[in-house]
Homo-oligomer: A and B are copies of this chain.
Amino acid sequence: MNFTEPLILRSGEKLDSYHLAYETYGALNSLKNNAVLICHALNASHHVAGVYADAESASIGWWDTMIGPGKPVDTDQFFVIGINNLGSCFGSTGPMHLNPKTQKAWGSQFPVVTVEDWVEAQQRLVSALGIEKLCAVMGGSLGGMQALSWTLQYPDKVMHSIVIASAPNLNAENIAFNEVARRAIVNDPDFHGGNFYEYNVIPRRGLKIARMIGHITYLSDDVMNAKFGRELKNEKIKYSTQDVEFQIESYLRYQGEKFSEYFDANTYLLITRALDYFDPAKDYKNNLSLAFKELQASFLVISFKTDWRFSPSRSREIVKALIDNKRAVTYAEIDAPHGHDAFLLEDYRYLSVVRAYFEEIEKKINAKEQNNE
């Protein structure tokens, strides 16, 4: 969808016009009160569920375990919207597109976007789809930050917020990991200050390192030991500093390689920065309870015990601030072994919690629909 009303960003910069890629699943009901917006994290897109019919681009939606007919977020009941954020590289306006003012790729000139900017753009799309009020906003990790920010920016436009494996802001360690990844990209000679498109190169080395670092932090120590341990790639040790010796090395190199083939380097910088900046309590003397004063939505907050990047204690901060404000909140701490990645994986307990929550929402919606008949 194309938007021509300028978007004033938190940085003070302005996007005169932009395109937002999105997908929808299921049908909007007559009361238009069954819309669920899904917000993505670092490297995902608007393609949240299902498989593309077109065989060439056949790829499963990134949250297909969660969303679809008969799934926890049941598209037979709910109208689900997947959206690609500004600055991302999967269809919405981003740094690889032409800057209308220069007629060159934006590159590093693409304005820095924040979670709040994304939410504002999302709201315009939701509104353009004829939806006054979202039944739910939902996301994991950075997506959870958006789901939270919606309830702060548009308290009367969202009924339920589902915040998974997220945090009210990044701590120093998380910012640190983001920074190392960014430096790896920026220092890659093929980055050319962000204008690599003009040179027909890609800062693959930097992207690989960034992804390898990310991958380590998405997994738990335990799951890495269970999956790889100290298993060797070859039967015997080769005594080499540059060849692969351990399976974990092979896995990480492969992940880095794959990522560098499809992900945009400038997008990586932009999205990690949005993560760094998000901090709704900042303007409230770092008091999250104060920041939540105008909230109206009900919440489902979920964390995973082995997630050391967005640990349960960070989710509990959100829960505490909600309780301080007497907001309805359901909180589940799932004992899944997979670390931060758990929010994308199939775990019966996790999916059951989400399913139960959406079944309750469904009842409320159906009751309203009957009242309306």
Contacts and interface: CB of A to CB of B under 8 A. Distances in A.
A351 interface: no
A16 to B, nearest CB: 18
A179 B23 CA distance: 38
Contacts of A10: 239
Range of interface residues on A (Cβ < 8 Å): 35 or more
B224 A176 contact: yes
Contacts of A276: 245-246
Given A177-B216, A239-B112, A248-B172, A209 B184 contact: yes
Interface in A179-236: 179-180, 182-184, 186-189, 194, 205, 208-209, 212-213, 215-216, 219, 221, 224-225, 227-230
Interface string A225-266: 101111000000101111001101100110010000000001
Interface string A118-134: 00000000000000000
Q: Which of A180, A209, A245 has most chain B Cβ within 10 Å?
A: A180
Contacts of A307: none
Contact of A209 (B187, B224, B249, B273): B187
Contact of A112 (B179, B213, B240): B240
Contacts of A230: 169-172, 175, 279
A20 interface: no
B277 A229 contact: no
Contact of A249 (B179, B242, B253): B179
Given A249-B175, A276-B246, A277-B237, A180 B224 contact: no
A343 to B, nearest CB: 20
A372 interface: no
A108 interface: yes
B246 A180 contact: no
Given A239-B10, A242-B182, A242-B186, A172 B208 contact: no
Contacts of A57: none
Given A171-B225, A179-B249, 16 more contacts: A111-B239, A112-B241, A170-B230, A171-B229, A172-B230, A173-B219, A173-B225, A175-B246, A176-B224, A176-B252, A179-B252, A180-B213, A187-B208, A194-B242, A245-B276, A308-B308
7 contacts: A172-B225, A172-B228, A173-B221, A175-B246, A180-B212, A182-B241, A183-B256
Interface of A: 10-13, 108, 111-112, 169-173, 175-177, 179-180, 182-184, 186-189, 194, 205, 208-209, 212-213, 215-216, 219, 221, 224-225, 227-230, 237, 239-242, 245-246, 248-249, 252-253, 256, 266, 269-270, 272-273, 276-277, 279, 308
Q: List 5 tightest A-B contacts by C-beta distance, closest first.
A: A11-B239, A241-B269, A172-B224, A112-B239, A187-B205
